Structure 1
Amino acid sequence: MKLTPSSVADAQRWTAHNYHPLPVVIASAEGSWVTDVDGKRYLDCLAGYSALNFGHRHPALIAAAHAQLDRLTLTSRAFIHDHFAEFCHRLAELTGQDLVLPMNTGAEAVESAVKVARKWGYQVKGVPAGRARIIVAANNFHGRTTTIVSFSTDSDARDDYGPYTPGFAVVPFGDLDALADAIDEHTVAVLLEPIQGEAGVIVPPDGYLAGVRQLCTANNVLFLADEIQSGLGRTGYTFAVDHDGVQPDMHILGKALGGGIVPVSAVAASRSVLGVLKPGQHGSTFGGNPLACAVAIEVVKLLEKGEYQQRSAELGALMHARLNSLVGQGITAVRGRGLWAGVDIDPSLMTGRQAAEALMAHGVLVKETHGSTLRLAPPLVITEPELDFALDRLETTLHQPSGRS
């Protein structure tokens, strides 16, 4: 069979339709920009759902990957390679934790967190076997594995995948009273996104995360912070929990940790928590592989300088000021922190999908969520003129709704 250059039609013909991508076929990228197969350039304001926090093909990250490809790519965890200890050490220091468990995908990191929390509950807290409970928030998004969708409240993610894994309780996000009422003697953990991404970049009320920390401490319950989308500079701090001065019992990381090059995820926690794992009880063939560690070390180095956190805070303030000025002019609400925003489009004007398609026609790539909401998450390397370019195009789109597709 002769293969022709990829097109939207080819993708629809040969792949399962588990995504609804915008009709663009990207061939190359650099920094904040991507170029399609026809040579048209677009400003990427989604950044791989935060996987590309440092932009496309960041020179330091690409150099690390190239150098490692010439040396060693995989050993499996049967052996120790020469980057493994440095990666774990640097990430432990970045998170303020003792130990790191490297994995690959975000969902794999969340599954690891669930398993470790349950094991800690049985071995350390003394919960009776098979009775451990984990409390999660409504409208959460932690991945799409069978266990994770078992505690999803999104019908698209959950329906028709049962029977579902038991052991989870769902409470409203941001409601400390509901959380307190849900905790019982069998509760081993509270698993939360500090800011809910897929739900529309939902920021919790002031004091909520500090209250979660207090409740968990008072009840000997682990606080598991899923920072897969919100972490690593996205919100103007290294982690979204840093806005509230909160230290979780476990950081769950992914996406940007791989620098937009390879899948890298990890959980980081104290020795008393991750120390419950013994050899053979949990693993991943590719978790913490040499290529992944080489790239992730450079990612951590970039974050250690604080430059990207500062850029996110400063440019994020400009972005939110501009977006908020458009409320009442086609936008009904804006939420978020740093270079991350959920923008609710007036549904009488257009849907989120129509807005995303119109912006694509204007050379800006974003993606809708939950009908009328756009998520903006430009790379942290974006410049102020580039950000203005994107926001100018959004304003044009709002003022010319007849141009939607």
Structure 2
Amino acid sequence: MSTLRPALLTDHYELTMVSAALKDGTADRRCVFEVFSRRLPSGRRYGVVAGTARLIELIRDFRFDPAEVDFLRRTGVVDEAAAAWLTDYRFTGDIDGYAEGELFFPGSPILTVSGGFAECVVLETVALSVLNHDCAVAAAAARMVTAARGRALIEMGSRRAHEEAAVAAARAAYLAGFRFTSNLAAGERYGIPTAGTAAHAFTLLHDDERAAFASQVATLGKDTTLLVDTYDISQGIRNAIAVAGPELRAIRIDSGDLAVIAQQSRELLDSLGATETKIIVSGDLDEYSIAALAAEPVDMYGAGTAVVTGSGAPTAGLVYKLVEVEGRPVVKRSEHKATIGGRKVAVRRHKPTGTATEEIIVPQGVPDRQANDRLLQRSYVIDGEPVGLPTLDESREHLRECLISIPWEGLKLSAGDPAVPVTVVPAA
């Protein structure tokens, strides 16, 4: 459960709108808000839905305590009527959306929030804060998983992110297929397997490299990973095997030309009889550098900065827009920011072989379903109460299945069209 108090994780103007809507009588008008992206980040062919379960937790706990209401009143953010309304606030509407682990494309209605205007509009900032971050990290991580071609990845970017963002990033990376995280809070909070052994500081602490390795092996056993690049890598490998023997589980290399060093290290390990000792590489890896190592004898990758910052796309570009008022579609007509009005239903169309061919979106209606269509939306909240949230491992498996379903071109790291085209059609 999150320890954050989410109510003030919002923008000033959300609450000034509430004040005005309460005064003019529009606060309780039944509205539908929608989260979607107008375009994917540059170079991306798909997005990944992540963070929805985190968001639902925050919405469940979204309350304004007396001190917060007093702050808003004293600073003039809200008037007395709005302050009274905030004191009793609890979301009582409905939330539907794509499953965590689902792929999305431009225009995909990944989250739909329904209820009174005021109770929905105050959720805009926290919804976008969570989803823009987690979806960006998950998409970057998924590309790294694809580039790794079945080799394991460990997320190790905590020191490159805000402390709470680091925990969320570890969750998103695990959802995307990373096998481990170095973040212990993520392990405790979400049950993600954690991993890690020692940094260069531990080697430098000791009189020499062998002494450091001996200390580590004495404590952790031979089923550990020794960091061999503090001084000379070749000598580091020799010292590691001299101390731990050929049964050493793994070595880690964090610097240098990893392609060349991985080959040389494998040859040296084999010559020392350590044919089963694994090679783990790290050091500013992203999906492109991981792909470049595909032919090298690397067994596991450690990714940090690139994954927790979205590998060049730190936000998913999602927006939260009003699309319906009292059953009537409403649209924004601004150039390059136009919206499509009305609550939407989305399905993904597939060939009989299971390959996705198209995403169909119908505003204010139901798609003309075909045999291999899959409905993309599910209920998350009904009348303010969360319902049947999937587990993180279920969402992880769902993403794996979704990535298998898209055309192989959609998995390329190069820029190109979205992997699955989106078509908006009139209701049947």
Would you call these one fold, judging by a TM-score over 0.5? Answer: no
Structure of greater Rg: 2
TM-score normalised per structure 1: 0.27
